[in-house]
Amino acid sequence: MIENFLHYVWLYKKFNPVVLKTTQNEQLQIFSVGTPNHNSGPDFFNGLLRIADQLWAGNIEIHLKSSDWFVHQHDKDSAYDNVILHVVYKHDTEIFRKDGTRIPTLELKDIIDKNVLDNYYRLFSKQKKWIHCEHGFGEVSGFLMENWFERLFIERLERKSKLIMNLLKASKNDWEAVLFKMLSKSFGLKVNGEAFLSMANSFDFSIVRKVQANLNQMEALFFGQAAQLDGNCNEPYFLKLQKEYHFLKQKFGLDNTGVFPLRFFRLRPSNFPTIRLSQLASLYHKQTQLFTTVISAKAPSEFYRVFEVSASEFWQTHYNFQSISRKTSKHLTKTFTDLILINTVLPLKFCYANHHGKDINEEILAIINTIDVEENTLVKRFSQLRPFTKSALQSQALIQLKTEYCDKHQCLKCAVGNSLLNK
């Protein structure tokens, strides 16, 4: 048994509350279990109880065993002097405050709701499982799942907001620069995301503003900072970019020593960093006020128009500087644009609105529900437990569910886990 389960039992009164007595046989009435404390100190603040004929207001501490009070040295900590009740699964010793007064104890071992206890042991059985609730995940009502998924998606946006605010601080409150850095990371995908971000961080965004009217200079800036213009190559396009980069390097004092190397291994040619860098350059060449355009856009069709860009002409017949390939249009696909919307645009819109005291949750939810569900291993695994085919809101919620709840064994804080405990 884990202590968090006892927190759950106490918070939701999952025990027989009719005739409660302390271990000293004093009658106990609970008017308020208190407010959960997620920081240091007693587990619940401001509980309200009647013990015997005395009304008590104060804090509640919860342990598996009474003796844990001394193991955790609460007897020496003044923060626990105002604890009015010690709630334990098993009572094995009396406990006292620093002044020597005894603290009343409630033992839960024989009064916990049997169904809840049985469901708890089933949920946390030692049988090896991908997630704890595999046996019941498909049984949870669709209405509960829909509401929980919306909450999970907003949680994921809130988590991404922390990264955005860090970038904003580093960019001296330049939202355009934040968008550029986030887009760079997204264009690099998983394999080159950090390398693209390090490229974006290697120069001030004001340089992009100064050169974006010239596509060759934009490409020279990105390719040069990504160390793709080093060495010798007789290709005229390469030599042109190399010359432009040397000019920009001198003019702006560019330095790329901190940029991570790009990786090509095990990538589809369409995802080669050369293609993605050119597409990113084309995007900023085409959209001179990209941040304003993205923030003001509301309909999915508007976003897709913004990201209707292709790699420059040279890359229509190349994937690298040396070899010619069959001519293909290297435009941003809908699938790739969807990833940009999910990982960059929507988190940025959400964070920007919150930063200015606005609530656009309904607008964000409406957009994410129009984007196709993502196809990845995690979603496929969950789909084996129940079908998920609706939208990217579901796939994003499932990522949040797995990483922040399932993997961290936070079933008692999960709507699915709560539902299974109380069925």
Looking at residues 55-63, what average pLDDT do you find?
96
C-alpha span between 6 and 108 (Å, rounded): 8
C-alpha span between 172 and 310 (Å, rounded): 31
Q: Which residue did the predictor score with more confidence, 128 or 205?
A: 205
Render pLDDT for 354-368 as a digit per residue (tens, 0 to 9).
Answer: 999 999 999 999 999
Place of tokens 């809908």: 334
Looking at residues 35-50, what average pLDDT do you find?
93
Looking at residues 342-354, what average pLDDT do you find?
96
Q: Which residue did the predictor score with more confidence, 205 or 97?
A: 205
Looking at residues 135-153, what average pLDDT do you find?
94
C-alpha span between 319 and 326 (Å, rounded): 10
pLDDT at residue 389 above 80?
Answer: no
For the chain, what are the domain ranges? Answer: 3-112, 152-368
Render pLDDT for 221-275 as a digit per residue (tens, 0 to 9).
Answer: 999 999 999 989 999 999 999 999 999 999 999 999 999 999 999 899 999 999 9
Looking at residues 411-416, what average pLDDT do you find?
92
- pTM of the full structure: 0.83
Assign 98 a pLDDT band (cuts: 50, 70, 90): confident
Report pLDDT for 423. 79
pLDDT at residue 61 above 90?
Answer: yes
C-alpha span between 372 and 377 (Å, rounded): 16
Render pLDDT for 147-163 as a digit per residue (tens, 0 to 9).
Answer: 999 999 999 999 999 99
Looking at residues 49-57, what average pLDDT do you find?
94
Q: What are phi and psi of 6, to 5 degrees?
A: -65, -35
Q: Which residue type occupies 114? A: K
Assign 125 a pLDDT band (cuts: 50, 70, 90): confident
pLDDT at residue 350 above 70?
Answer: yes
Q: How many residues does the chain have?
A: 423
pLDDT at residue 29 above 80?
Answer: yes
Report pLDDT for 313. 96
pLDDT at residue 1 above 70?
Answer: no
Percent over 70 (pLDDT), the chain:
100
C-alpha span between 221 and 241 (Å, rounded): 8
